[in-house]
Amino acid sequence: MEDTVNAFVDVFTIEGGSGPLSGLTFGAKDLYDVEGHVTGCGNPDWARTHPAATAHCPVVATLLAAGATLMGKTHTDELAYSLMGANAHYGTPTNSADPRRMPGGSSSGSVAAVAAGLVDIGLGSDTGGSVRLPASFCGVWGLRTTHGAVPLEGAMPMAPSFDTVGWFTRDLATMARTTAAMGLAGEGPLPPRLLLPVDLWAQAMPATVDAVAPTLAALEAAVGPAVPVVVAEEGIDTWFDAFRIAQAAEVWETHGAWVSAVKPNFGPGIADRFAMASAIGSDERAAALAMREKVRARAAALLADGAVVVLPTSPGPAPFRDADEPTLNAFRNRALRMLCLAGHAGLPQLSVPAGVVEGGPVGLSLVGPRHGEGSLLSLAATL
């Protein structure tokens, strides 16, 4: 395989067995252990200070056992702490849907490999949006699974109470096959109703709303008109602040000792986020976690009957590759306001390719109750 889009940090082949994914290929984000290879996590200092893995992590082993062939390890933003896809050490993978634009991260290499047709499945991870946002940016399917539904042993933790496994495909059929092979439901009952969170839609550009409207209309034709709701009764800024603080405090708890000891060379944005994380106090973290519990209770109440929330995945198409750091951070923060519902509540979210704005793809997302992956896939199949 020729890596034409800088998707891979290491290209090699490990043949899969015989199973439901036979004939398919995948790339694994470079925070998943692959036996005999160093898990570099997007940073040379991390790679330098960690030994090669002695075994495949469970999710890689599961895909191999299901018959898929591993084609290599894909780039990630440094320690997965970004959403844009730029890496100061290894470069930015190409967004094949619109090469002028960022591919999204932190699962940047996996989405780039799928969008370019180099592999059928891109194994990623999603803590704050690292599968959902790249899927929207590159015009592919992306699934964030229910928190805790797929094991994360043998993967670099970021913020474990938020971390989830996810993957990209170019079509729904492959998405459903992969989901079933991972031990989750590949189909399920259609939801009884759709919910349209007006406060989250308000974060999207008007052009994005227009672009995804036909896909929303098609879903409504299958299930019925979406019911407008306000999901963040405390205000979406309050939800965003709680997510940012709770995640960052956990990131520092996970990696602070290594960062303090090694003093790694981080790229722009990454260093700032780790500095912010190091300064979060216990009272601030406790308040954020208390708000997270309120968000979880609100989500459970809204989705108790199996309802599905539908919203644009992203405020708009991906930022341009030459955007400066303040522009990228502003977009990232706006996107997190839309993404933090599933992050806080540990919910599955499927990003569906749904339109184009100024030459760049945008996605429409389906957010379901915990362990509702099958329902999301069946709803998407009505399209």
Q: Give me the active site residues, please.
A: 29, 106, 130
How many whole angstroms separate alpha carbon 273 and alpha carbon 268? 9
How many whole angstroms separate alpha carbon 131 and alpha carbon 164? 10
CA atoms within 13 A on the CB side of 293: 5
Q: Is 124 helix (H, G, I), strand (E, B) or coil?
A: strand
SS3 assignment for 41-84: CCCHHHHHCCCECCCCCHHHHHHHHCCCEEEEEECCCHHHCCCC
Q: How far is CA 106 from CA 177, 340, 360, in A?
A: 24, 16, 19
- Considering only CA atoms, which of 330, 210, 343, 335 is closest in space to residue 288? 343
Burial of residue 207 (number of CB atoms within 10 Å: 0-12, 13-18, 19+): middle
CB 171 within 8 A of CB 141: yes
End-to-end CA distance of the chain: 33
10 bridge partner residues: 73
